[in-house]
Amino acid sequence: MCSTLPLWGTKNKTGGQLMEWKGFTGNIINVNLTNNEINLSKQNFDDIKQFGGGLGINTKLAADLFEPNIDPLSPENHIIIGVGPLVGTITPGSSRSVGTSKFPATGAIAYSCGSMSFGFNLKLAGYDNIIISGKAEKPIYLLIWDDHIEICDAASIWGKNIIRTHDILSKKYNSCSTIAIGQAGENLVYHSLALIDRVSTFGRGGLGAVMGSKNLKAIVAKGTNSISIAHPKEFTKLFKRLFDRIKNYPHRESWHDLGMLRSLPVGMLFKTAGQNQKARQCSERVYLNQLKKRRIACPSCPMGDKDILKLEEGDSTELIHYATSIINPFLMFTDLDGLNYNHEAILAHDKCNQYGLDYMMVAALLDYCTKLFEKGILTKENSGIEWNTDITTLIHIIEIITYKTEFGELLSKSFDNLSELYEGTSEKLPNVKGLDVVFEPRLLHLGTMEFEQVVNPKGSHVASGGSPTYIGAGSSIEKFKSHFNRMGIPSFAFDNIFTPPVAEMVINVGRLTRYAEDWYTVLTSLGLCARAQINRFYGLESVTELYNAITGFNTTSDDLRKAAERTWNLLKLMNMKENFSRKDDKFPEDWFKPLKFGNKYFKLLDFFGETIITPDIANQLLDDYYDERGWDKITGNPIKAKINELELKSFI
């Protein structure tokens, strides 16, 4: 089962001249699990120039490989993992790994991103991308250790949770990184995911199930080499300038102390809703004095935004919990009224992480089922569950979803199954393309993060809608314009962005979302973290300078912006072949109804809270988004002129 491959043949003939890769390694690992075969192929230089790397190259490889309308859990589906050219360098926050596949929860060809040290190790081992296809006869894991690539027997770790799997593999290979699934992925639960280094979530929408369908328990990466930089003196100058800005940032210490809790103070949400007990449980003081053990960081990150939590009360005295952020277990409070204490939310979140379940989907499903029980639609007789909203019931539900036993078999696929199975219910869980809502616009107002859930091919998620509308970040027109310039939004687009359907809205989030997606795509294609505490130090001009210093290319900011637009359009074209269109880009009906949170009700308002968003306004914002993208307003798909402009005609 072992295949050892030569690594250092990284020169490629381009234009008749011998070229040595800088920043990129030029190597792609191809693994066919059905045939037990491993081989290397080379990056196409023209593809690099057209798509940039990372998310862009993943998308191009997917477009070359994917056949329309395949079963996401079939051997024909591919898993493509890629890293950008800045990954493996000391560029702050350059640790992004991107996974592309067809996801079972949505049926869309989409991407998911994660961090920690997998991308760093993959790059230092000598590879930009991994393409995995087929299905192994028995459980395996893939080992990548410099020029040694091996398909290894995973019988001893199959059936173990993600934390234990990581610990075993980390001990065996020492200073390695892992992407691993738990029992939910092994059992093909639609909303299972993987974790990178037992901390960073990777694959909302069912990547865990895709790995499980291939009998792929984990991928181990260990790299001991280095990345060649084209212009080291220029890079060092850029790095020092950037690092000094970060070091002298006045709020850096509070970011170190609070992590993501600084940007989303969950306790304030509960206080606004009149839930004072939960507000106290999620306060900064409680986090710092009772829950925080220490902070951990990805390679090259000077901020350290990941959490190691400790529980020191009750039966959970010894529990140490790893989380991408404390806000994740805290947010389980918002969906589940039966959780009264923060340690219950952390216990539930830890159980989801162990099994590899999307905690947001689990919380949403339980909240939905609670409503069905309250209406008498679900009962003990037809579900087999004595329903309560306490931690005991929650853990039980997590267990039966993971192992697809009893009522959990139904919950392991889609909440739509429930509304179809139980007649007489008009109760539907708000969702976008089969994924529960992450950014609730009735609580947060309608910014680009909230709107982008609707138009993203994947559906509701957490990443690619960042802009000045994120959690109230943009408080004035001038601040908006400054942020737009940093994102690289062309000045000719400003007038359209400041022309909303209703004047009082000030900002047209439909038009702005197009540029939020493009900026996110630039960052993710280069390998940079998109979280606010890091990406605030970058702009399109500065990342272009870094890209050129590392690769030796003479790329312009317009080139990177165009590569991002090309990537997003190609992703849309692939999903057009999966029969996605404007009919799927729709606001959940519940968004137009008041949301009861705590003892208060919240309506769907524009970002500034001045205008109630009606279905007509929502549809106009969708029209404006498509128009800004150069897409057809009726179908929601790219028009011929845009396809030709971006040189994507061969993918129609």
| 367-381 residue pLDDT tens | 888 888 888 888 898
Q: Report the pLDDT averaged over residues 5-32.
A: 64
Quick check: 338 and 394 in contact, CB under 8 A? yes
Tokens standing for 650? 């061969």
Q: Is the per-residue pLDDT at 16 higher than 50?
A: no
Neighbours of 20 (CB within 10 A): 11
State the pLDDT at residue 342.
Answer: 87
Look at the chain and count its residues: 652
How far apart CA 194 and CA 645 sit, in angstroms, is 37
Q: Is 586 helix (H, G, I), strand (E, B) or coil?
A: coil
Q: Is the per-residue pLDDT at 312 higher than 80?
A: no
Q: Which tens digit of pLDDT belongs to each residue from 255-301?
A: 888 888 887 778 877 887 788 888 888 889 999 999 999 988 899 99
What is the bridge-based pairing of β-strands 27-32 and 37-42? Answer: antiparallel
Rounded to the nearest 5 percent, the helix, strand and coil shares of the chain are 45, 15, 40
Q: Report the pLDDT averaged over residues 317-322.
A: 80
Q: Is 344 helix (H, G, I), strand (E, B) or coil?
A: helix
pLDDT band at 317 (very low <50, low <70, confident <90, very high): low
Q: Specify the amino acid at residue 196.
A: I
Lowest mean pLDDT among 45-49, 472-476, 503-507: 472-476
pLDDT band at 365 (very low <50, low <70, confident <90, very high): confident
SS3 sequence of 623-640: HHHHHHHCECCCCCCECH
pLDDT band at 315 (very low <50, low <70, confident <90, very high): low
State the pLDDT at residue 277.
Answer: 84
SS3 sequence of 569-584: HHHHHHHHCCCCCHHH
How far apart CA 352 and CA 322 sit, in angstroms, is 11
Q: Is the per-residue pLDDT at 18 higher than 70?
A: no
State the pLDDT at residue 567.
Answer: 98
DSSP run (H or E) holding 196: strand 194-196
Q: Is the per-residue pLDDT at 494 higher than 90?
A: yes
Q: How many CA atoms lie within 13 A of 73 on its CB side?
A: 19
Q: Is the per-residue pLDDT at 561 higher than 80?
A: yes
Q: Report the pLDDT averaged over residues 548-561.
A: 97
Q: Of 488, 465, 462, 492, whose CA–CA distance to 621 is shortest? A: 465
pLDDT band at 417 (very low <50, low <70, confident <90, very high): low
State the pLDDT at residue 334.
Answer: 66
Quick check: 86 and 546 in contact, CB under 8 A? yes
Q: Report the pLDDT averaged over residues 499-513.
A: 96
Q: How many CA atoms lie within 13 A of 289 on its CB side?
A: 7
State the pLDDT at residue 270.
Answer: 81
Q: Is the per-residue pLDDT at 359 higher than 50?
A: yes
Q: Report the pLDDT averaged over residues 428-437.
A: 84
Domains, the chain, with CATH or none: 2-222 (3.60.9.10), 257-429 (1.10.569.10), 438-538+581-651 (no CATH)
Q: Of 97, 302, 292, 73, whose CA–CA distance to 201 is shortest? A: 97
- DSSP characters over 64-118: HHPPTT--TTSTT--EEEEE-TTTTS--TT---EEEEEE-TTT--EEEEEE-TTH
Place of tokens 């990150």: 301
Q: Is the per-residue pLDDT at 10 higher than 90?
A: no
How far apart CA 20 and CA 229 sit, in angstroms, is 11
Lowest mean pLDDT among 98-107, 124-133, 275-284, 603-612: 275-284
Q: Report the pLDDT averaged over residues 385-405.
A: 91
Lowest mean pLDDT among 117-126, 292-301, 337-346, 500-509: 337-346
pLDDT band at 12 (very low <50, low <70, confident <90, very high): very low
- DSSP characters over 223-280: --S----S-HHHHHHHHHHHHHHHHT-TTHHHHHHHGGGGTS-HHHHHHHTT-HHHHH
State the pLDDT at residue 58.
Answer: 98
Q: Report the pLDDT averaged over residues 418-423.
A: 62
More confident residue, 463 or 537: 537
Taking every pair of Cα atoms in the chain, the longest distance, rounded to a whole number of angstroms, is: 73
More confident residue, 16 or 283: 283
- C-alpha 638: how far from its chain's center? 24
Burial class (CB in 10 A: 0-12, 13-18, 19+), 314: exposed
Q: Which tens digit of pLDDT belongs to each residue from 156-183?
A: 999 999 999 999 999 999 989 999 999 9
State the pLDDT at residue 260.
Answer: 84
State the pLDDT at residue 93.
Answer: 95
State the pLDDT at residue 434.
Answer: 87
